[in-house]
Chains A and B, each alone.
Chain A
Amino acid sequence: MKEIQIIAFFAALLMLVCILELIRRRKLKERFSILWLFSAIILIVFSLWGKLLEILAKLMGIYYPPLVLIPIIMFIAVVLFIYFSIIVSDQSEKIKTLAQKIALLEQKIVNQNESKNI
């Protein structure tokens, strides 16, 4: 094993442990962590199986195998960003509905109180 592989392995392992620990401490909900866990596992696979990079490099026509990591990491990052944008959109829709319901309820309560006072 090359030194760089060992460093990469421990870095990826650290990421995996951090994610698991965040879930355990309830700082991170499971359903938001699936993609992160998946990314960490992919990185671990790459660090352990050095040949994989060379195989992919050949397939993609890249001369210098470590450069294969760049498109892979970019792909993971883009997927994560889109995933979180979807979550944000969903939540903003829910917040809007909640705020509208509160506003309508408040108007109803104020209205009822006023008619009682008359």
Chain B
Amino acid sequence: MDQNITQSLRVLAIVPAYNEEITIQSVIQEILDKVTGIVVCVVNDGSNDKTAEVAKESGAVVISHPFNMGIGAAVQTGFIYAIRNDFDVAVQVDADGQHDPSFIMKMVSELTQMNADVVSGSRFIKKGGYKSSFLRRIGIVVFEVINRIVVGQKITDSTSGFRAFNKRAIAFLADKYPEDYPEPEVLIILKKNGYKVMEIPVDMRNRQGGQSSIKGYKSLHYMAKVILAILMQSVKVEEK
């Protein structure tokens, strides 16, 4: 129904990338193939490999940080670019090929139809789409409960990095963006400031290259740190 409205929106895909030369080309290619009229902006976060060159050849706008500053800073740079170049929607997409670009338009149309400020792609709304270990599922439930309390809304996949933002949310996040564990923290600060957050089910694939930065006993450590960051974020004073 809103095909036309959705089509006329200027959409930017923000792809934060750190040493992703193996997968970056196919990721960019797939986004450009599946979403007509989209601009892909790769934020190269101080990679040591050929990520920037490969991305440029693949037809992306490339912004290179002078040194590595973490995914939070990279996504924020993308938002600043989106604001300066007057994009209507920004979609954050991982550089490792986990996110299927066919969902991008779904997320964008959900954003406009439901009048949301953020639409987050969740692996966990639909059962069976995502295989995970027992430990991981416990972690997911713990996160759900904490989010329920802190965000005041059911968030099934607070660490998802596959999200669409409207102009209002872009402007807000370009100004301030959490650094340590940005994905869960972003939802909290947006909710706290009265933005409308929604989730839609998406399928995520296994990574095509690279590996998760979190595994084994480290995941417990990670969870503890994220929970601390979430709780701290929820009580932080707004800076004016």
Residues of A within 8 A of B (CB): 96, 99-100, 102-104, 106-107, 111
Contacts and interface: CB of A to CB of B under 8 A. Distances in A.
Interface string B22-61: 0000000000000000000001000000000000000001
A107 B60 CA distance: 12
Interface stretch (B13-21, B77-85, B217-225): B77-85
A10 B69 CA distance: 46
B231 interface: no
Interface residues of B, number: 16
A71 B16 CA distance: 48
Nearest to B65: A103
Interface of B: 43, 61-67, 69, 73, 76-77, 80-81, 84, 179
Contacts of B63: 103-104, 106-107
B80 A99 contact: no
23 contacts: A99-B66, A99-B67, A99-B69, A99-B73, A100-B65, A100-B73, A100-B80, A102-B66, A103-B63, A103-B64, A103-B65, A103-B66, A104-B63, A104-B77, A104-B80, A104-B84, A106-B64, A107-B61, A107-B62, A107-B63, A107-B64, A107-B81, A111-B61
B61 A99 contact: no
Nearest to A105: B63
Given A104-B81, A107-B62, A107-B81, 12 more contacts: A96-B69, A99-B66, A99-B67, A99-B73, A100-B73, A100-B76, A100-B80, A103-B43, A103-B64, A106-B64, A107-B64, A111-B61
B77 A100 contact: yes
A104 B69 CA distance: 15
A51 B66 CA distance: 57
A83 B41 CA distance: 39
Contacts, number: 33
A99 B70 CA distance: 12
A99 B62 contact: no
A102 B62 CA distance: 13
Contact of B73 (A96, A104, A106, A111): A96
A27 B58 CA distance: 49
A84 B63 CA distance: 32
B225 to A, nearest CB: 17
A105 to B, nearest CB: 10
Contacts of B65: 99-100, 103
Nearest to A102: B66
A96 B68 CA distance: 10
Contacts of A111: 61
A68 B87 CA distance: 63
A103 B81 CA distance: 10
A101 to B, nearest CB: 8
Nearest to A114: B56
Contacts of A107: 61-64, 81
Contacts of A103: 43, 63-66, 77
A100 B66 CA distance: 8
A96 B66 CA distance: 10
Instruction: Pick the 5 closest A-B CB pairs, nearest first.
Output: A107-B63, A100-B77, A103-B63, A103-B65, A99-B66
B65 to A, nearest CB: 5
Contacts of B179: 96
